[in-house]
Amino acid sequence: MATIHCPSCGEEGSLDQKYCRKCGFNLKPVTKLVAGDDVADVRREKAERDRAILQRMYRWLMWGSLIFFIGLVLLVSGRAFDLPKFFGPLSSFVMISGIAAGGYGILAALRDGVATSKKLPPATKAAAKLADSSTNQLANGAFPISLPSVTERTTQLIGEDTPKP
């Protein structure tokens, strides 16, 4: 997931965050400014990856259930119709294979979900633009606005309240 830094405290965060986890600064405007419409693309890609992982998991679970059911039918029919003795171990093997297939589907989905959450998405247009631009200069030669510090205003207020001799 692409990252941004909080303009208030500098804490690193993701584009999905609404507020900074360290200072509580509202990151929605910053996200819109940095990524523009690319945030929706990143979220859509993530949703598509998650949907594909879930479909694969359900497919493995369905096949595992079918194989397990076949093994169960073999077990019941082997006992009901007095079939040869190898049907017992064969049916047990088929049932265990079905359980293994279903378990593999769940574990693979967990693995893929964790692996995709750690990967960074492909470079977006905004990220490429930011990488190409020089961050040492302000746009259009503008000057930064200096903000007064909290202590400066407090000092001014204290000076007003003190009685003059």
The amino acid at 37: D
Distance CA 62, CA 47 (A): 22
**Residue 63 and residue 81 in one domain:** yes
Residue 6, exposed/middle/buried by CB under 10 A (0-12, 13-18, 19+)?
buried
Domain that holds residue 10: 1-36
The 3-class secondary structure across 111-144, one letter per residue, is: HHHHHHHHCCCCCCHHHHHHHHCCCCCCHHHCCC
- Please state, as a whole number, how many other Cβ atoms lie within 10 Å of the Cβ of residue 31: 20
Q: Indicate whether 107 and 55 sit together in one domain.
A: yes
Q: Could you read off the pLDDT tens digit of each residue along the chain, which spans 165 residues?
A: 567 778 888 888 877 788 888 888 888 777 777 766 555 676 788 888 889 999 999 999 999 999 999 999 988 888 888 778 888 889 999 999 999 999 999 999 988 887 765 554 544 555 555 555 555 555 566 666 666 676 776 777 776 655 665
In a domain, 76, yes or no: yes
Predicted TM-score (pTM) of this structure? 0.49
Residue 11 amino acid letter: E
- Domain count across the chain: 2
Q: Is residue 158 part of a domain?
A: no
Is position 165 within any domain?
no
pLDDT at res. 29: 78
pLDDT at 87: 80
Quote the pLDDT of residue 104. Answer: 94
Domain membership flag for residue 133? no
Q: Are residues 18 and 52 in the same domain?
A: no
Q: Which residues, at least 6 apart from 21, have a Cβ–Cβ distance to it below 8 Å?
A: 11, 13
25 in any annotated domain: yes
